[in-house]
């Protein structure tokens, strides 16, 4: 077996600032030569053919070919593969010259998980970007600090609410529910991902109905509320929708970033005329991350890439309710949004999907204050009404921030007590039966 030395290099041999490094999980038949397999992936996604062609000069190869910089077997069979083993598992790291794809997210993904997504068990786990590449991206305009500055809230987690029911409401009913959630203490309210510009609730009619209700609630509670209007649409309508929302008083936007595409989301975030925070909704990401054998990790499609695209808040599906998210994946994705990434600002993770007041303590324990707790049914379905549901969250947040447990705090607040009696506290037996909507 001969493998061109330029295709297999150790990391210390790289001119690191030229390369984006991809880390993959790969499963192969027992007799597969993993080094050769990794080289095949690297070549396929760069020079693109297994046979030498006249145009592939040494200069072209040096400039553009991918390099395998690590192949690690798990378990690490070093002296032979046991007879009962039917499949081998590898972590393979490949360095791709950033000049091949530039600052296009479409071309980045076409390179790092393009044709090789059809190569069997190959899953893209992570990407490492040199500073020279990150400099091509503006990132979020606001992020964690910018949103806190808008709201004037610095010492606690923020509270998000999604309007429920998801769809079917007219603008006036949407406004009524938004008022109740806002006056109860919600910091950021959002349209549901299924509502953008339907005939029964046109986008601009919704903005004109909701924003006066939000402003009235702000006067009553003495706090500011952001409302993220869903502008998801055909690509050519995105900016038009965004500007129309802002022209009619809207103060935040929402996009289903994976269905419109990361470059389309970035187009909105980079636009100097669009100067309000953008909330990223995670529709369709499950189709990308849920397979253990293929696609992209939740860390990438649910955290790093939308953050790189410039979105300020990202819905994070949690393991608390109706989605099959593992706890370690949930925590890891949330941390990815807050970790340093060159000059790219940290962004808010928004755990949702079955979150109740009984999860407040656990969420703060995992993420601290820089998290946005997202709830729909636990606010709008509270037995005392949506405003009480929101107050119950704020009561629980304030109590935990003061060092109390939820069990201790429920004695002090009627609204919080009603929620905890109904849905329980995460980790307790009753809650384990209530909160998991999959059961």
- Point out the residues that are catalytic: 164, 281
Q: How many residues does the chain have?
A: 439
Residues 390 and 379: their CA atoms lie apart, in Å, by 5
Q: Is 136 left (phi over 0), alpha (psi -120 to 50) or beta?
A: alpha
d(CA 43, CA 57): 14
For residue 438, give Cα distances in angstroms to 83, 163, 188, 421: 39, 22, 27, 21
Number of C-beta neighbours around residue 83 at 10 A: 7
Partners of 313 in the beta sheet?
A: 279, 348
The Cα angle at residue 165 between residues 159 and 169, in degrees rounded to 5: 115
Q: Which two tokens stand for residue 409?
A: 């705090």
Residue with tokens 């009962």: 84
Question: Exposed, middle or buried: residue 49 (CB in 10 Å: 0-12, 13-18, 19+)?
Answer: exposed
Alpha helix positions (H), 339-405: 360-367, 377-380, 386-401
């Amino acid at each position: 077996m001969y493998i061109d030395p330029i295709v297999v290099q150790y990391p210390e041999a790289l001119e690191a600032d030229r390369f984006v490094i991809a880390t993959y999980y790969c499963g192969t038949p027992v007799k597969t030569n993993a080094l050769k397999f990794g080289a095949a992936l690297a070549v396929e996604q760069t020079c693109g053919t297994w046979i030498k062609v006249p145009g592939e000069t040494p200069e072209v190869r040096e400039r553009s070919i991918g390099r395998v910089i690590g192949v690690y077997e798990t378990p690490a069979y070093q002296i032979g593969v046991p007879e009962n083993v039917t499949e081998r598992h590898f972590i393979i790291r490949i360095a791709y010259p950033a000049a091949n794809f530039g600052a296009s997210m479409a071309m980045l993904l076409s390179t790092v998980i393009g044709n090789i997504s059809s190569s069997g068990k190959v899953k893209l786990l992570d990407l490492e970007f040199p500073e020279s590449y990150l400099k091509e991206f503006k990132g979020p305009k606001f992020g964690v600090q910018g949103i806190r500055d808008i709201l004037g809230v610095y010492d606690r987690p923020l509270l998000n609410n999604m309007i429920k029911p998801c769809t079917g409401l007219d603008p006036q009913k949407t406004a009524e529910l938004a008022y109740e959630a806002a006056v109860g203490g919600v910091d950021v309210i959002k349209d549901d991902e299924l509502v953008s510009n339907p005939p029964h609730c046109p986008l601009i009619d919704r903005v004109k109905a909701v924003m006066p209700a939000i402003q009235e609630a702000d006067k009553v509670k003495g706090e500011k509320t952001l409302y993220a209007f869903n502008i998801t649409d055909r690509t050519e309508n995105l900016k038009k929708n965004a500007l129309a929302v802002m022209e009619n008083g809207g103060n935040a936007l929402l996009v289903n970033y994976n269905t419109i595409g990361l470059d389309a989301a970035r187009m909105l975030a980079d636009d100097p005329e669009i100067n309000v925070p953008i909330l990223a909704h995670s529709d369709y990401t499950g189709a990308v991350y849920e397979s253990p054998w293929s696609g992209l990790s939740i860390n990438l499609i649910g955290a790093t890439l939308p953050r790189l695209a410039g979105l300020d808040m990202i819905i994070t599906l949690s393991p608390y309710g109706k989605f099959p998210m593992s706890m370690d994946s949930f925590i890891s994705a949330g941390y990815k949004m807050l970790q340093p990434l060159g000059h790219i600002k940290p962004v808010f993770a928004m755990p949702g999907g079955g979150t109740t007041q009984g999860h407040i303590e656990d969420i703060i324990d995992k993420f601290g204050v820089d998290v946005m707790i997202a709830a729909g049914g636990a606010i709008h379905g509270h037995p005392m009404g949506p405003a009480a549901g929101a107050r119950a969250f704020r009561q629980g947040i304030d109590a935990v921030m003061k060092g109390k447990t939820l069990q201790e705090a429920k004695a002090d607040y009627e609204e919080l007590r009603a929620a905890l009696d109904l849905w329980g506290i995460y980790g307790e037996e009753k809650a384990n039966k209530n909160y998991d909507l999959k059961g």
